[in-house]
Amino acid sequence: MKQSRKSKRAIFFAYTGTIYDPQSDQKAHLESAREIVRHFKLDVTPQSLLERFSERADRYLAQRDADEFLAGDDMLRAVLPHFGTILQVPKTREHFLFVKEVTRKMHCVHGALMPGAEEALSGIRERGFHVGLISHVDGDLLGSLLDSLGIRDYFDSVTTAEEAQVCRPDPRIFELAVGKAEITTKQAYFVSDDPHRDIPTARKLGFATIYLRAAPDAGKDCPEADFEIGALTDLLPILDREAARK
């Protein structure tokens, strides 16, 4: 991450689904499950293991406040003992660290950017914006991912739920991010592929909001968004038009 620059304008991005390709994320999870099955010689398919984990994680999260922060390590600690019991794998710190490292490695190997992400980030920096990231991914893992994708230096600031101890759309994570840029929300854009939670909250806070409608099954519009784009490179002409108006 480059040293934060003083700027009167900023643009913040959500991560998975906006900068990071969610299909590559799914592949990374499946490859992680494949390696876990191989390592522990489990009598289940990787897909079955992944589905069991997701089901158990969803059940665990359903018992909590949906917006309550939960670190990735805490999720693993909460869910893995269940698998240690049903799959007869000893519940040890060594095994916990193995699963954590496999997950990190596979995401770094198989993770991919959304189309046009690097071109858009480069163009935004050239236009003098403070470029920020607001992510639910834990700091250590996110740092590894940004390095493996080669995009760490495009960001002037990175704000995680782990740091803020709250998840989007809680206003506090947005406020923390804006504080790093030393501006107000009225001077900032927020870009996300989530039209139901992120965009409405960001707009209420004063951001100019941009809905990335990149998924084939995404809704046709997002009434709360100030702008809609089909690709990240569509951001650049929007920013140029807005700058010319001012």
pLDDT band at 3, cuts 50/70/90?
Answer: very low
pLDDT tens digits, 106-148: 999 999 999 999 999 999 999 999 999 999 888 888 999 999 9
Candidates 24, 14, 55, 34; CA nearest to 167 is 14
pLDDT tens digits, 51-74: 888 887 777 666 665 556 666 777
Q: What is the pLDDT of residue 43?
A: 87
Q: What is the pLDDT of residue 157?
A: 96
Q: Which residue has the higher pLDDT, 177 or 65?
A: 177
Determine the average pLDDT of the residues in 143-158.
96
| Helix orientation angle between 46-62 and 72-86, rounded to the nearest 10 degrees | 120
Residues 6+ apart with CB under 8 A from 171: 201, 205
Determine the average pLDDT of the residues in 169-194.
93
Least confidently predicted of 18-27, 34-43, 214-223, 233-242: 214-223
Q: In what order do the strands lie in the sheet with 188-192?
A: 157-160, 130-135, 10-13, 188-192, 208-212, 227-229
Tell me how far apart the alpha carbons of residues 90 and 96 are, in angstroms, rounded to a whole number: 10
Q: What is the pLDDT of residue 116?
A: 96
Q: Give the predicted TM-score (pTM) of the model.
A: 0.88
Tell me how far apart the alpha carbons of residues 101 and 18 are, in angstroms, rounded to a whole number: 25
pLDDT higher than 70, residue 229: yes
Tell me how far apart the alpha carbons of residues 38 and 15 are, in angstroms, rounded to a whole number: 30
Determine the average pLDDT of the residues in 176-184.
94
Q: What is the pLDDT of residue 164?
A: 87
Determine the average pLDDT of the residues in 39-54.
89
Q: What is the pLDDT of residue 20?
A: 96
Determine the average pLDDT of the residues in 29-40.
93
Q: What is the pLDDT of residue 99?
A: 87
